Structure 1
Amino acid sequence: MTDFLEVTRAAYDVVAVSYEELLRDDLAANTADRAVLGMFAEHTTGRVADVGCGPGRITAHLASLGVDAFGVDLSPGMVEVARERHRGLRFEVGSMTALDLPDGSLGGVVAWYSLIHVPPELHPEVFAGFFRALEPGGHLLLAFQAGDEPRRITEGYGHRIDLTAYRLPPERTSALLVDAGFEVRTTVVRAPEPPNEKTAQAYLIARKPA
């Protein structure tokens, strides 16, 4: 089951530089993404881990909103790009399947289109790790493509790659969060924005009970 980690790491190492260049200004054109991130920022106090941070664009946006955010990513290539692009912020290599953070040390966790590369049968384990790392009253934000099927990606950001992305049903994902102990506070599902998006996009904000 660890093979998916190696495949995902390799793919994002390859695309790291071009990924950052292509998505650098994406948030500026996406009102819904900014609104959800703003809502999360208002709910959250304490340190926030952006898990699967890629080149750090979400980490940096949260920091611009006054959040004490740092990034964690599986790909050393992505972490290198993030550190170069956002020199005042902290980024480290790590995996959401084995989150190396102390119990109750975080006010918030963000998994922004990063859970999609973890096989769904491992999601309960991932959510348990998020729950453990959050302090009581801490918040979790997930963003993902809505659906119920895996998609194999063989080309992305100008490179040949081999990567699986899982579209996830919001209702089932919410139920798994509840099973992990979370209270789901906000669910948003929006229509895709052409030409780049092919399916509905989902956002969940959940809270660890105080």
Structure 2
Amino acid sequence: MPAAARAHRSEKVVCYIVRDDHLLVFTHRDYPMEQTGVQVPAGTLDPGEDAVAGALREAIEESGLTGLRVVALLGEDEYDIAPVRDEVLHRRFFLLEVDEVAGDENAGGLEVAGGELEPRLDLTARWEHRDPDPSGGGEAPRWECFWMPLEWGHVLSCGQGRFVGVAADLVTERKGRPDGGRAGPVAAAAPPPAGHHVRTVPVEPEPGRRPTTFWPGLEDPDHSHAYVQRFRVMPARGEDLEGESRLVDVLAPRHAHLLDAGCGPGRHGGHLARLGHRVVGVDLDPVLIDAAGQDPPGATWLVGDLVELDLPSQGITEPFDGVLLAGNVMDFLTPEVRGEALRRIAGHLAADGFVVVGCRVTRGFTPAELDALLPEVGLTLEQRFATWDLRPWETTSGFAVSVLRKGS
């Protein structure tokens, strides 16, 4: 019998507290590093306790910080800790942020004296802390808390670094939103889909069997199911998921023919369809297309590879007024086929049609790579912004929104 089937199962939360691209971590002072390693706040949910409330409680107890707010459920896994104990940990991973301003009515604020930043928010700070309510009773263990660059998070012990890439990508994404990523309380985590026990959210390209794509959902559908769930939960938290589609709506004529290329679960194309546009969404992942099709009708959803895009062969002959490539779509195409994908997309455009591309700046498919491809595909750069709400582009920006135009 597999260990997971016979072991005791515990409900756990793991907390990524992030500030300025740094992660709050700690090391135990009363145990050797070889035994405990570097950890983030984590712990067991009380019976009947909501996972979001439990994450906030554990984060406060194990860091000593106040002014914390839960931003997102990043994913879930099951971690077998044998041979330490015959126990499987069902872990929910959360992203949390910390406010600097005292008296914030939503977050509680931090103690700020004389206008100075709370000392523990200094990224060079180290402080000793004890669990005020140790679960095993007795004297509370001591640990040293400090901030570590988020990109180093994969050194965390006990597999706690599993969702560091997810967190890093979400932090970058939130920086490009109109509200700076600030949102209301996170909704309670939904249960895993039936038959899916280990769930991850794909945000980083991973080599797979298909030569044209790095999308991990084709190798492991659990990635895709978690990705769908992530974007279904976010609106309940008050997150703005329509900035990309609002920009396209401004650029497009009324009742435009629009292509959502790499549409995922259809959040942008669905919104544009509700605004009265005629939308076609294309994605390589059948799980995501199935999710898009579950929304109210109004758009056409197709499984397809952007590198082989040929919609006239499927009966869609009308050229498109505009195309949206959001969510780092180009990152998930292998480098050698990105030019061909962009050429095929441009070939589906009407004269004077536009393409809007969102991409990261420092890694993956960058604006420099995009600019190098434009002459060969017949597109020109018309505008570039740092966010979907059109904040000015600077060379230090962490994200780029590029508006491209096809010649008339």
TM over 0.5: yes
Cα 1:140–1:6 shift into 2, 3 Å: closer
Per mean C-alpha deviation after superposition, the further-off stretch among 73-82 and 175-184 is: 175-184
Partner amino acid, structure 1, of 2:405: R
Relative to structure 1, the CA distance from residue 58 to residue 11 in structure 2 (aligned partners, 3 Å threshold; closer, same or farther) is farther
Does structure 1 conserve the Cα–Cα contact (< 8 Å) formed by 2:274 and 2:298? no
Q: Counterparts of 2:322 and 2:399 in 1: how far apart (Å)? A: 21
Task: Answer yes or no: is 1:136 the counterpart of 2:351.
Answer: yes
The structure, 1 or 2, with the larger RCO (C-alpha pairs under 8 Å, 6+ apart) is 1
Go from structure 1 to structure 2 and tell me whether the alpha carbon gap of 1:81 and 1:144 turns closer, same or farther (over 3 Å shift). Answer: same
CA distance in 2, matches of 1:76, 1:95: 11
Structure 1 position 44, deviation (Å): 2.0
Given the alignment of the two structures, is residue 38 of structure 1 paired with residue 253 of structure 2, yes or no?
no
State the partner residue of 2:368: 171
Q: What is the aligned partner in structure 2 of residue 107 from structure 1?
A: 321
**CA–CA separation in structure 1 for the residues paired with 2:269 and 2:326:** 10
Shift of the alpha carbon at 1:182?
0.8
Counterparts of 1:195-206 in structure 2 under 5 Å? 200-206=398-404
Q: Give the aligned partner of residue 282 of structure 2.
A: 72
Secondary structure of the 1:109 match is strand
| Number of matched pairs | 183
Is the partner of 2:386 in helix, strand or coil?
strand
Change (3 A) 1:119 1:83: same
CA distance in 1 between partners of 2:355 and 2:288 (Å)? 22
| Partner secondary structure for residue 50 of structure 1 | strand
Change (3 A) 1:12 1:209: farther
Give SS of 1:66's match. coil
- The Cα offsets for residues 68-127 of structure 1, whole Å up to 9 and x where unpaired, read as 222111011111111113433221111110102237621111111211101222221111
Q: Decide whether aligned partners of structure 1 residues 71 and 3 sit closer, same or farther in structure 2, where only a CA change above 3 A counts.
A: same
CA distance in 1, matches of 2:214, 2:401: 27
Task: Return the match for 1:22 from 211, 226, 230.
Answer: 230
RMSD: 2.8
5+ residue gaps, structure 1: 149-166, 191-198
TM-score (norm 1): 0.74
Q: Which residue of 1 aligns with 2:407?
A: 209
Structure (1 or 2) with the larger CA radius of gyration: 2
**CA apart distance, 1:189:** 2.3
The percentage of counterpart residues that share the same residue type is 23
Contact 1:146/1:170 (<8 A) preserved? yes
Indicate how the Cα distance of structure 1 residues 116 and 7 shifts in structure 2: closer, same or farther if over 3 A, else same: closer
- 1:207 is matched by which residue type in structure 2? R
State the distance in 2 between where 1:63 and 1:12 align: 30
Go from structure 1 to structure 2 and tell me whether the alpha carbon gap of 1:18 and 1:8 turns closer, same or farther (over 3 Å shift).
Answer: closer
AA matched with 1:112: A
1:70/1:55 CA distance change after superposition, 3 Å: same
Which amino acid is 1:83 matched to?
G
The one-letter code of the counterpart of 2:265 is P
Report the equivalent of 2:261: 51
Matched residue type, 2:322: G
Alignment of 1:114-153 (within 5 A): 114-148=329-363
Structure 1 residues 6 and 120, CA gap change in structure 2 (3 angstroms): closer
Deviations 1:31-61 (Å, cap 9, x if unpaired)?
8x61x53232222243111111111001112
- Would the aligned equivalents of 2:270 and 2:298 in 1 still touch at CA under 8 Å? no
Q: Which deviates the most, 46-55 or 64-73?
A: 64-73
